[in-house]
Chain A
Amino acid sequence: MTSTVAKPRPAPVQAPTSRRRTRAAAVWNRLPVHAVVLSIAAIWLVPLVGLVVSSFRPAHAVLTSGWWHSFALPGDYTLENYRRVLNRDGLLLSFFNSMAIVVPATLLTVTVGAAAAYGLARMRFKFRRGLLLTIVALLIVPAQISFVPLLTVFSALGLTGSFLGLWLVHLGYGVAFAIYLLHNFFAALPAELFEAAEMDGASKSQIFFSIVLPISRPALASLAIFEFVWTWNDLLIALIFLGGSRDVAPMTVAVSSLVASRGNGWEILTSAAVLSMVVPMVVFIALQKYFVRGMLAGVSKG
């Protein structure tokens, strides 16, 4: 997006020595950079390495020794943990249930959020500032307090146990953050973008679909990955609003049933956790090209 190269400027008179000094200094400076970056990355990776290694160790080994011991013994590894998870009755169905819950919920949240963010960012109306602040305030509302009121309404409407109900619940809990994030982006889009279209007589909805959405692909993709991950990892909302039917249980519910009632058996969670990381990582990689480019482009122009 920003790749223009500056015009070459005439070099200062003392060019040779100072340029050599600057280049040497630049190399020197790189070492601490590498050190800092690699040490932070190492700290972040260690728990994950422990998780992955543990997931390949037999259950009794996990309970009695640290994961690094498995390197010493000649391969005390097994696929048993993964077998137990993958063979779990209904795991494949629960994977598709998760997709059936998460994909529409994410799309719905991004859509409703984008429309609202656009209205709040680029249209002047009386309650704009108030609405915006209310939305910031709503970020704090703990989800637990709304379980019973929402569930009562859903039961009355017969939405419990249905996917539609779950989409609406996730929409309700996710749209505040969606609006907050997208509003910053939309508000910073340059006015020139809109002036031309408005002069041509384009309506707001035409501008929304033909200008705002295409140019915001990075922001939308970034929001989508966050909403996807949060919805993918949700357990409590599924347990409460899906009403216990095995047919519609998502992967998180299926995986939690692998752990025994007193919490023992959690070593099986290692392989389940590794497996459930796969899908969000795939989505992250797929959206990479949008992800790290220009999500908040123009915010910095503030």
Chain B
Amino acid sequence: MNIGRAGIATAAACLLAISACSSGTQPTEAISAPQAAIDAAKASALEVAGGKEIGGKVTMLGVLGGPELDAFNAVLAPFEEATGIDVQYEGTRDFAAILQTRVNGGNPPDMVSTPAIGEVSALAAKGDLENLRDVIGDDVLNANFSKSLLDTGSLNGELFGIFDQVNLGGLVWYDPKTYKGPTNPASWDELQQWARSEESAGTSPWCVGLESGAASGWPAADFIDEILLRQAGPEFHERWRNGQEPWTSQDVKTAFETYGATVAGKMAYGGTTTVLSTNFAKAANPMFTSPPGCYLNQQATFMGGIIMDSFPDLKAGTDLDFFPVPDFNPQFPGIRSISGEIIGVLTTTPQSAALAKYFATPEAATLIAATGRWLSPNTNVKPDAYADPFLKKASQVLADAKATQPLGNSLMAQTEVDAFWKAALDYTKNPDQLDAILANVESAK
């Protein structure tokens, strides 16, 4: 047992050394918001709490973790300081299971923050969520959010969720130093033409990665969603996500096939097996090898941060940039898709009401923008609030958009979303079985 004791002693010594070398507990990522913005947020937090430090606590269940959680906590910090309220945020990837169990078991969180809007709307249908119009007030809501965003978070006229952070989808990421194709293509066909010429020349143009643990397939599903929106038009898209158009309809089929053209044959780096096996966060890695294995990665705004994390020496703009996915259909130009997280209240307490109101203020929204991770859905946030160059560009794209629609799959019930993700994987693996695959999803509705 001497070896054992020596081992324990060594391990303990190492841990002490590491902790001593690091400088104690401190927030691992401070946001780069100007002090004025933080102070403004504190002031408005105090205001929504009724002008005094009411203290107490509010529990919030969400999905964030890692640096995202650090950023979110930094947005919450001014609120906590000004009102004395302790915000207990718990992030888990098992969100649906935990939420459902705790609601059914009589121990629900006070608030939720999640991208699974369909999941939360199912709870709203059961009456478990408070109407935010009562909690926050119509005038404040209308002054800060667009009608379409408010409608997305509503069920039967009751507002169950407001967006606090938004990602712009439908972007194509590329390395300006190595990519020689069109950076502002007039149409999808023009881009794919270049892609096909690359393929016949022997290189794969697209970098695709669909693996994501339990949620594998979502990158393809999001892209198909976007294609459907812009190819078949917002009205069809809305009917489809509400379940009024079947999955087996021709428009949906065409959208799948349009996506399929990016992974067929040698269009995607490494072929189908690689596409299915590669984690979405590593999908863009081959862009930076020499010679590059592929050139284009279709993904939303958050991909910028992920790529910069993997390759810390990259410079935004010179080594990495994006252009919005070009139009698929001249009938529906300039449409952009967004996804994001909504905040909902299950139990109204003075603390949870204050926090909900805080998220509706432009000051809190400015802090969200300053984190450099997300776009803010608040119409009052100015584009120069974004220090991150990618987000600044993305907010410009959003401002110039002719129409903005939320992605359909975030609004569907989780069973349908799971079936959609699985269908994307199955279709990638077996493109000739599209009809059967779509019929399968339809039966999961």
Which residues 63-110 of B have a CB within 8 angstroms of A? 63-69, 88-94, 97-98, 101-102, 104-107, 109
Whether B59 pairs with A257 at a CB distance below 8 angstroms is no
B27 within 8 A of A: yes
Stretch in B250-258, B304-312, B396-404, B415-423 with 4+ CB within 8 Å of A: B304-312
Q: Name B25's contact: one of A60, A87, A148 (CB within 8 Å).
A: A87
| The 5 A-B residue pairs with the shortest CB-CB distance in the complex, in nearest-first order | A151-B105, A155-B106, A244-B90, A264-B281, A285-B4
Give the interface centre of B92, B311, B312 by most chain A CB atoms within 10 Å. Answer: B92
A89 within 8 A of B: yes
User: With the chains together, A87 CA to B4 CA distance in Å?
Assistant: 27
For B18, the closest partner residue in chain A by CB is A82
Whether A259 pairs with B65 at a CB distance below 8 angstroms is yes
Interface on chain A toward B: helix, strand, loop, or mixed SS?
Answer: helix
What B residues does A155 contact at CB under 8 A?
A: 105-107
B137 within 8 A of A: no
Which residues 133-183 of A have a CB within 8 angstroms of B? 147-148, 150-152, 154-156, 160
- Interface size in chain A (residues, C-beta < 8 A): 50
Q: Name B65's contact: one of A63, A64, A257 (CB within 8 Å).
A: A257
A221 within 8 A of B: no
State how many angstroms separate the Cβ of A133 from the closest Cβ of chain B: 30
Scan B6-41; emit 1 where CB is below 8 A from any A CB, else 0: 011001000100110110111110000000000000
11 CB < 8 A contacts A-B: A63-B281, A64-B285, A83-B18, A88-B28, A261-B115, A262-B280, A263-B213, A264-B279, A268-B66, A282-B8, A282-B11
User: With the chains together, A171 CA to B60 CA distance in Å?
Assistant: 28
A-B interface contact total, Cβ < 8 Å: 147
A49 within 8 A of B: no
| Known contacts A147-B101, A243-B59, A289-B1; 4 further A-B pairs (Cβ under 8 A) | A257-B91, A259-B93, A260-B64, A285-B7
* Residues of chain B having any CB pair with chain A under 8 Å: 1, 4-5, 7-8, 11, 15, 18-19, 21-22, 24-28, 59-61, 63-69, 88-94, 97-98, 101-102, 104-107, 109, 115, 212-213, 215, 279-282, 285, 302, 306, 309-312
What A residues does B64 contact at CB under 8 A?
A: 260-261
Give the interface centre of B5, B68, B105, B213 by most chain A CB atoms within 10 Å. Answer: B105
What A residues does B213 contact at CB under 8 A?
A: 263
User: With the chains together, A88 CA to B297 CA distance in Å?
Assistant: 33
What A residues does B212 contact at CB under 8 A?
A: 262-263
Whether B310 pairs with A64 at a CB distance below 8 angstroms is yes
Whether B65 pairs with A59 at a CB distance below 8 angstroms is no
What B residues does A288 contact at CB under 8 A?
A: 1, 4
Whether A243 pairs with B28 at a CB distance below 8 angstroms is no
Scan A270-288; emit 1 where CB is below 8 A from any B CB, else 0: 0000010010001001101
Whether A84 pairs with B28 at a CB distance below 8 angstroms is yes
Whether B105 pairs with A154 at a CB distance below 8 angstroms is yes
User: With the chains together, A64 CA to B24 CA distance in Å?
Assistant: 30
Whether B105 pairs with A147 at a CB distance below 8 angstroms is yes
Whether A151 pairs with B26 at a CB distance below 8 angstroms is no
Whether B65 pairs with A89 at a CB distance below 8 angstroms is no
What B residues does A278 contact at CB under 8 A?
A: 11, 15
Scan A66-104; emit 1 where CB is below 8 A from any B CB, else 0: 000000000000010011101111101000000000000
Q: Name A156's contact: one of B90, B106, B280, B285 (CB within 8 Å).
A: B106
Whether A86 pairs with B22 at a CB distance below 8 angstroms is yes
Whether B88 pairs with A148 at a CB distance below 8 angstroms is no
For A150, the closest partner residue in chain B by CB is B105
Scan A237-250; emit 1 where CB is below 8 A from any B CB, else 0: 00110011110010
For B100, the closest partner residue in chain A by CB is A148
For B24, the closest partner residue in chain A by CB is A87
State how many angstroms separate the Cβ of B383 from the closest Cβ of chain A: 26
Whether B106 pairs with A63 at a CB distance below 8 angstroms is no
Whether A265 pairs with B1 at a CB distance below 8 angstroms is no
A253 within 8 A of B: yes
State how many angstroms separate the Cβ of B329 from the closest Cβ of chain A: 30
State how many angstroms separate the Cβ of A169 from the closest Cβ of chain B: 12
Q: Name A246's contact: one of B88, B101, B109, B312 (CB within 8 Å).
A: B88
User: With the chains together, A160 CA to B102 CA distance in Å?
Assistant: 10
For B1, the closest partner residue in chain A by CB is A288
A296 within 8 A of B: no
Whether B1 pairs with A244 at a CB distance below 8 angstroms is no
Whether B105 pairs with A261 at a CB distance below 8 angstroms is no
State how many angstroms separate the Cβ of B109 from the closest Cβ of chain A: 6
User: With the chains together, A151 CA to B106 CA distance in Å?
Assistant: 7
User: With the chains together, A17 CA to B44 CA distance in Å?
Assistant: 97
A256 within 8 A of B: yes
Q: Taking A151-B107, A154-B105 as contacts, is the C-beta distance between A63 and B92 under 8 angstroms?
A: no
For A264, the closest partner residue in chain B by CB is B281
A236 within 8 A of B: yes
User: With the chains together, A62 CA to B28 CA distance in Å?
Assistant: 20
A116 within 8 A of B: no
A258 within 8 A of B: yes
What A residues does B92 contact at CB under 8 A?
A: 239, 256
Whether B310 pairs with A60 at a CB distance below 8 angstroms is yes
What B residues does A249 contact at CB under 8 A?
A: 90
Whether A243 pairs with B107 at a CB distance below 8 angstroms is yes
Give the interface centre of A84, A265, A286, A289 by most chain B CB atoms within 10 Å. Answer: A265
What A residues does B106 contact at CB under 8 A?
A: 151-152, 155-156
Q: Taking A60-B310, A86-B19, A89-B27 as contacts, is the C-beta distance between A260 and B66 under 8 angstroms?
A: yes
User: With the chains together, A286 CA to B309 CA distance in Å?
Assistant: 41
Q: Name B282's contact: one of A63, A147, A282, A289 (CB within 8 Å).
A: A63
User: With the chains together, A260 CA to B59 CA distance in Å?
Assistant: 19
State how many angstroms separate the Cβ of B305 from the closest Cβ of chain A: 10
Whether A261 pairs with B28 at a CB distance below 8 angstroms is no
User: With the chains together, A216 CA to B285 CA distance in Å?
Assistant: 57
User: With the chains together, A248 CA to B12 CA distance in Å?
Assistant: 24
Give the interface centre of A155, A256, A264, A265 by most chain B CB atoms within 10 Å. Answer: A264
For A259, the closest partner residue in chain B by CB is B65
Q: Name A256's contact: one of B65, B68, B280, B306 (CB within 8 Å).
A: B65
Q: Name B107's contact: one of A154, A258, A282 (CB within 8 Å).
A: A154
User: With the chains together, A88 CA to B8 CA distance in Å?
Assistant: 23
What B residues does A246 contact at CB under 8 A?
A: 88-90
State how many angstroms separate the Cβ of B293 from the closest Cβ of chain A: 12
Q: Taking A59-B309, A63-B281, A86-B22 as contacts, is the C-beta distance between A148 and B104 under 8 angstroms?
A: yes
Whether B8 pairs with A261 at a CB distance below 8 angstroms is no
What B residues does A260 contact at CB under 8 A?
A: 64-69
What A residues does B28 contact at CB under 8 A?
A: 84, 87-88
Q: Name A151's contact: one of B4, B63, B102, B280 (CB within 8 Å).
A: B102
What A residues does B5 contact at CB under 8 A?
A: 285
